[in-house]
Structure 1
Amino acid sequence: PAAGQWTAYIYSRNSSAGGTTGPVLFAAQVAKYGPFGHVRPSTLTLAPGQTAPITLDVSTPSSPGDQAGSIVLSSNTGGTGTIPVTLRSLIPHGHQSFSGTLTGGNGRAFFIGQTFYYQLDLPAGQPELNASVKLADNPNNPFQAWLVSPTGEALAFSSNDLPSSSAPGYIPELGTQLHVLSPAQGAWTLIVTFAPTVSGTAISEPFTVSTNQDYTRVARNGLPDSSKVRLTRGQKYTYEVWVRNAGPDPEAYFLDARQNVSTTLNLAEFNGKPDTTMPLTVNSNLPIYLVPTHTTSFTGQATVTGGGSQPILFDEGAPTGDPDIASTAGLTATASHSSNPISQGIWDIAPEMVGPFGTTGGPAETVHTSMSATTQAFDSQMSSPTGDLWFASTDPSTLNSFNPQFVSPGHWAKIPVTITPNAPAGSTVHGTLYIDDGHFVIWQFVGTLNGNDVAAIPYQYKVQ
């Protein structure tokens, strides 16, 4: 920028159109280019077609995160070029805590904002991977966070909005927590995105990131763990499992009982609308499906109905947009994905016609979608007043009874669970009772729910 006096103009649309009235905070900063490491040699002479190595000596950032710089190339014949350099410092193993600063986005879109990437290399055999992100003092700066596995699956997905039965459906908090049980060995990525738009009440907002690999403390309090425990078929047995919120922010816990076998489920379209029309527009129905935790494969399908003859294809997008699975093409198109496990949460099926078309575009067609998933089987013999978010994968109406238990930092949640055995007498029942946390997240501009495993309690009993 040129030297001298600069003028900033701040304006807003009319209040009736969503604009802002009142005082506005404004800050301006100046910066200049500074040194970035040491290059050797600092000068060199090259004949036509000749190459030569250049060495850059530079230190990685002092705290976890990224730093960007450039090697500037200036020629005696004129012109300047640059070679971009990005440095990343990893999060060390063990208990770690470091800070960052939110300065906001450019305000052009509510779903885009400042994003931070952090990475850590986990050795094998870790019991759990936990991360938390906490704002300094203003919960009205919404953000979302992900823990992405070495295979590219987002296995923990949370926000600083806790689900609520009261409008607008969530409670803003200062921070959030993420958990992954038995994380795989390798490079894990923690992504933090501050979006939708920031509160607008401060120029900046500090935040703190913490990570560890500790077990979450739980107590089974009599929940059967042996085939020597006999339970009578059809009789109700109620226990109380405990879990401690060791993080810095409130949690919304619910129970999820699974058998130690896999099964294939036909998932239900989350909004009860598996059909859509082609070509898709911004106002078209986009079929979405809730994939539960502990899913290892799924298959999506889209079929042209109503006598249409134009082939279609679709992509199947994860809650975070990645991975994005491409389908076959035809009047019936399919797409399959497998990983152990797959990212839980809302996946979409977005069909499109196979072109090319003439000047009039493609014909109108109706498309029916469906999705099936192979996952750890639900145990219908166990229930809890918290409900189970993942039941909505096959029956979205169960969200009406979803009632997670809210627990403050440092406190214990005491969650009832009832076993009503219905297996044949003499059979042994065994499975895992997962304690999950629920979060309100923004998906495709729409608010929805997601959750993560926090702890796992094995159970076993014999039916008499």
Structure 2
Amino acid sequence: MLPDTPLRLRQPVAPAGGNRPAPTAGGVGMGGRTCAAPGEPPLTEPEGLALTRTVGSAQEPGAHDLADGSGVRVGVLGGAIDPAAAEFVRDGRSVVAGYADFTGDGLDAPSYILESFGDASVVAAQGVGVYDAGRYGHPVHRPDKPCPMRILGVAPAATVHVAKVFSNVAAPTSVVLQGIEWAVLHERVDVLNESLVGYGYPDTAANALRLANDAAVAAGVTVVVATGDAGPDDTLGSPASDPDVIAVGASTQLRAYGQLGYGGSPLGGGGHRSDSVSALSSGGTAQAEPRTVDLVAPGDTGWAACSTDTARYQSCVSFFDGGTPSPFFLFGGTSAAAPFVAGAAALVIQTVRRHTGDTPTPEQVKRILMSSATDLRQPASQQGAGRVDTLAAVRLAAALAGHPGSTGPAGAPAGGRPASEDKAGLLVATSTASVTGGAGRVAPVAVHVTNPGAHTRRVTVGLRSTAPTRSLAAGQVTLAAGAGRAFADSDGVPANARLVPVTVPGGTDQLQAAVAWDPRSHAAPVSVSVFDPAGQLAGYSLPLGNGGYGRVTVARPQPGRWTVAIWTRDDGSPPVGAVRYDVTVLRLTPRTGPSVVVPPGGTRTAWLPVRLPTTAGDSSATVTVAAGATGYAALPLGLRALVPTGPSGGSFRGIFSGGNGALAGWALLGQRRSFQFEVPAGKPTLAVSVGAGDDPELEVWGFLVDPAGMPLAASSSRSAGTAAPPRLDLVRRAPQAGRWTVVLVLTAPTATVRTRQPFHGRVGFAPLPVVATGVPAGAVLPAGRPAEATLTITNTGTAPASYFVDARLDAVGEVPLRPVASAAYRTPVSGADVYPRFPVPTGTTRLRMSADSAVPHVLDTQPYGENGYYVGDPDLAGTAGRRSEVVVSSAEVAATTWICNANRAGPFGATPQPSARVDCEATALTRLFDRRITSSTGNYWRRVVEGSTEPYTPLTLAPGQSGRITVVFSSDEPVAERVSGSLTVITLDARTGFGTEVAAVPYAYTVGSA
């Protein structure tokens, strides 16, 4: 194979250690031509094969000269695939060695989902065909001459085993779980690729997919997961938040942009500059702990193989040319980056097996890939350890296999032949991937370094952090048809742009361009494209929806005059109007730490002091390890400073920016922030208040999560249903002692026309003021003479709140729950929102969800929220069979609607499965309702649980307002025994459907004779 053209230009020299240190400005992926010159061999696609040194060049070999994935089984969780497609056939046999359906649609059902095509192509495409990339595009952008290419996989000799878990409707957890089990136990895969993501609130360890992946890792399977496509600012999804998997973000490979006129490329002078972190790549830190991205791989954007059978595989067409059938398609996102790393893992596994006869553990594979990655000199929360380098990974694996003694803390594989020191690199691991503690505290982090070379090395460790950004340009432009620079978008639709020149100073590590606009009038989003001084496309904001915000970054920009293009499509809708822009630069600050001397084949540990942020919240840093010219590695470290709390509480603050318009649930996902704090024992109340500016168009969601990971309060700044500045309150009576988490989510289109939106929060322990009069405390109530009491409540929060009284006995019992609609449905499902949902009341300590059907099925359950606006953890699976059951137990179970998600058990063959009825049931172990007590608000829980017809008219109070709830104790018949319980005051959030206990007034009485 011939190398990709861009790597021949301005390529930095790799160190003797094989993997690359932080490149110099403008160093990687520069100056690329769009197509091969006449007479040259076809380009090898995707472009990332050259960027990662998977294919060789005249100057050095590629990873394919050393390994091709032979004997390695790679599992794929995806949709339908054509195993007979030309690029999936090797020596007359399909590389798709296993294929099973778990959706019930059947393997032969028509499908528009292309995930498995893309994943299998990135892993094991054969490069047998020659395609003209230009024919995929719109005629207005087609090159004058053919643009020939071959499509090749990272591990073309591996086999691929596809579990079809994506139907045309959905990919439920209970279906994905079956795919994981099949891949691990039946297909016995070595690597499992999961190009799927969920944005759950909260996201905790109590997650069925995470538990299944952990079991797969324990069984020896390397699990590779996409981080998500919602942008780099704290949008890391699940199951990538699991520290046992390899969480993969996307880096840029922009050659296809020029071939298609995509991403505003016609505004430049031709050529492209790859190897930045993609604008769509989800990054940041996880919710439960500040774990971040592990590494990135080429994913934005490249070519993948498809099928010529468009009747069955309906999306094997060009969407840029009116749906013309095509045997290849444009494939991108972290969905493309994850299988790239899965292929790299296959090369590492093959290499270790060849030298030792043993299969490396998933932890060893992960460490090799991260230790050998190319440092792009970007924030750790975006790049992780850097961009995967397959050649360096294979060399490091071979070197480690040559030293039987190199198994210290880094856990390298042992045995086999030595490799030459100058290609060995270093194997590096830290004692932890994240640090959480008090603001400003210094924590020691152990850095374990293994030297697989033949000579002693002096290794120096350090810490690299981010400095504050510096503004280059800020202002406002107006986008309207006929104004600015006109051009044709990739599908031929007219577009117009405003060009903003900026001068980038030397020493810049990252160039950032952000825009904000009001998305309510213009249908198309605003895009940002960035061009270097030579006019080459260097970055594109890649909006996934019209979310009112966009951002793009460029790694290591060379100094000079750059151009930021702000543009949108002229789609006939009203003009966008004003667009705010901010262009900034970022520099990283290195700090040198201790040095250690590591003998050949040995492992040594250096202790690096790491200071946590001085203000509450999350950040990241990069641990650097350098051995002169013989080795270099960079590892990510997530950092979280706790909210300081005193006797009366504490405070925190931060910045929201926005997202790229990605959809999560039924709302556009913007950005997420997580804060943690300690709650001492004995506090009467936990109250968290959040405010975010004064724009009523900004919607913020908040989730209050207890130390066990259970969400006990959730609210939206729009819950009151009226236009008001974004405020929300999260209150919990009698909180458990321990570490609590607040998760804040910026959602919905942001019409603020601001690229930065400050927010602030307050943690307090003061109880909600409730004054009770007339509540019996052991009195005897005469039969037939109702007694009346009054609760006077004052809303001490920052947002309006609705209250009702829920009278509960001290006695506990198993209570049957009523579904929101029907408790029955049919599987396979015909729509995404057909599963039964059951409201669970406050005070529940155990939820039992069960399903019955004539066919075997798998069940899971999780909080689903009102109208499916969000889903979250716990997401737990139970027994499988014709009757299945899940039990959720906690000090208190989340009081919201929970879903009964039972799906037919596979695997299935070619034909669709007949539908079968499923009947769901749910019960709650909770305090029993006191039916003798009624109130002026009514009891929402009795309405939804027992079917009570009592009117529900909650007391709604503005901040600072007081109001009264009248409570009536009925006493129709004498009751000899003493009745005791409490009048719990509940807030019910109309937007999230979450109920929370905020106060309780005990009562006790007996009913005597009249």
Q: For residues 814 and 828 of structure 2, what CA distance do their matches in structure 1 show?
A: 31
8 Å CA contact 1:217, 1:244 repeated in 2: yes
Q: 1:224 to 1:80 in 2, by over 3 A?
A: same
Task: Write 1 or 2 for the structure with the bigger share of helix.
Answer: 2
SS at match of 2:577: coil
Q: How far is 1:441 from its partner?
A: 2.9
Match of 1:143 among 655, 677, 700: 700
Q: For residues 457 and 124 of structure 1, what CA distance do their matches in structure 2 show?
A: 20
Give CA-to-partner distance per residue, 1:364-414, whole Å, 9 cap, x none.
Answer: 21211111111111111111222222224324675x933221212222221
Say yes or no: does 1:224 pair with 2:776. yes
Q: For residues 244 and 5 of structure 1, what CA distance do their matches in structure 2 show?
A: 57
Task: Write 1 or 2 for the structure with the bigger share of strand.
Answer: 1
Say yes or no: does 1:336 pair with 2:881. no
Say yes or no: does 1:451 pair with 2:1001. no
- In the TM superposition, what are the counterparts of 1:365-376 in structure 2 within 5 Å? 365-376=916-927
Percent identity, aligned pairs only? Answer: 27
8 Å CA contact 2:771, 2:793 repeated in 1: yes
- In the TM superposition, what are the counterparts of 1:321-360 in structure 2 within 5 Å? 321-360=872-911
- Match for 1:219: what amino acid? V
Q: Which residue of 1 aligns with 2:650?
A: 96
- Match for 2:582: what amino acid? A
Match of 1:312 among 833, 850, 857: 857
- In the TM superposition, what are the counterparts of 1:11-410 in structure 2 within 5 Å? 11=568, 14=571, 21-35=575-589, 38-41=591-594, 43-77=595-629, 80-93=632-645, 94-109=648-663, 110-162=667-719, 174-225=726-777, 227=778, 229-270=779-820, 272-283=821-832, 285-304=834-853, 308=854, 310-319=855-864, 320-395=871-946, 401-410=951-960
- Match for 1:258: what amino acid? R
8 Å CA contact 2:720, 2:801 repeated in 1: no
Q: 1:73 to 1:6 in 2, by over 3 A?
A: farther
Q: 1:76 to 1:371 in 2, by over 3 A?
A: same
8 Å CA contact 1:161, 1:439 repeated in 2: no
Give CA-to-partner distance per residue, 1:401-451, whole Å, 9 cap, x none.
Answer: 332212122222211122212453444222100111121235xxxxxx222
Give CA-to-partner distance per residue, 1:182-239, whole Å, 9 cap, x none.
Answer: 11121111111112332343323221100111222211022222x2x23222333332
Q: 1:96 to 1:357 in 2, by over 3 A?
A: same
8 Å CA contact 2:644, 2:651 repeated in 1: no
What is the total number of aligned residue pairs between the two structures?
440
How much is the aligned-residue C-alpha RMSD, in angstroms? 2.4
Q: 1:244 to 1:349 in 2, by over 3 A?
A: same
Give CA-to-partner distance per residue, 1:261-295, whole Å, 9 cap, x none.
Answer: 1121111111x211111112444511111110000
Q: 1:207 to 1:378 in 2, by over 3 A?
A: same
Give CA-to-partner distance per residue, 1:84-106, whole Å, 9 cap, x none.
Answer: 11221112223322322211111
8 Å CA contact 1:113, 1:193 repeated in 2: yes
Q: For residues 282 and 69 of structure 1, what CA distance do their matches in structure 2 show?
A: 44
Q: 1:420 to 1:76 in 2, by over 3 A?
A: same
Q: Rg: which structure is higher?
A: 2
Q: Which residue of 2 aligns with 1:460?
A: 1004
SS at match of 2:998: strand
- Match for 1:251: what amino acid? A
Q: For residues 361 and 367 of structure 1, what CA distance do their matches in structure 2 show?
A: 18
Q: How far is 1:456 from its partner?
A: 0.7
Q: How far is 1:302 from its partner?
A: 1.0
8 Å CA contact 2:643, 2:652 repeated in 1: no
Q: For residues 182 and 39 of structure 1, what CA distance do their matches in structure 2 show?
A: 47
TM-score, structure 2 length as denominator?
0.42
SS at match of 2:813: strand
SS at match of 1:329: strand
Q: For residues 805 and 726 of structure 2, what CA distance do their matches in structure 1 show?
A: 24
Q: 1:392 to 1:144 in 2, by over 3 A?
A: farther
- Match for 1:127: what amino acid? P
Q: For residues 68 and 409 of structure 1, what CA distance do their matches in structure 2 show?
A: 37
Q: For residues 288 and 235 of structure 1, what CA distance do their matches in structure 2 show?
A: 40
8 Å CA contact 2:696, 2:723 repeated in 1: no
Q: 1:233 to 1:217 in 2, by over 3 A?
A: same
Q: Mark the runs of 5 or more structure 2 residues left unpaired by the alignment.
A: 1-553, 865-870
Q: 1:22 to 1:213 in 2, by over 3 A?
A: same
TM-score, structure 1 length as denominator?
0.88
Q: For residues 913 and 599 of structure 2, what CA distance do their matches in structure 1 show?
A: 57
Q: For residues 425 and 321 of structure 1, what CA distance do their matches in structure 2 show?
A: 44
Q: Mark the runs of 5 or more structure 1 residues left unpaired by the alignment.
A: 165-169, 443-448
8 Å CA contact 1:145, 1:157 repeated in 2: yes
8 Å CA contact 2:694, 2:725 repeated in 1: no
Q: For residues 413 and 343 of structure 1, what CA distance do their matches in structure 2 show?
A: 27
Q: Which moved more, 1:131-140 or 1:56-65?
A: 56-65
SS at match of 1:409: coil
- Match for 2:894: what amino acid? S
Q: Which moved more, 1:315-324 or 1:155-164?
A: 155-164
8 Å CA contact 1:382, 1:417 repeated in 2: yes
Q: Which residue of 2 aligns with 1:417?
A: 967
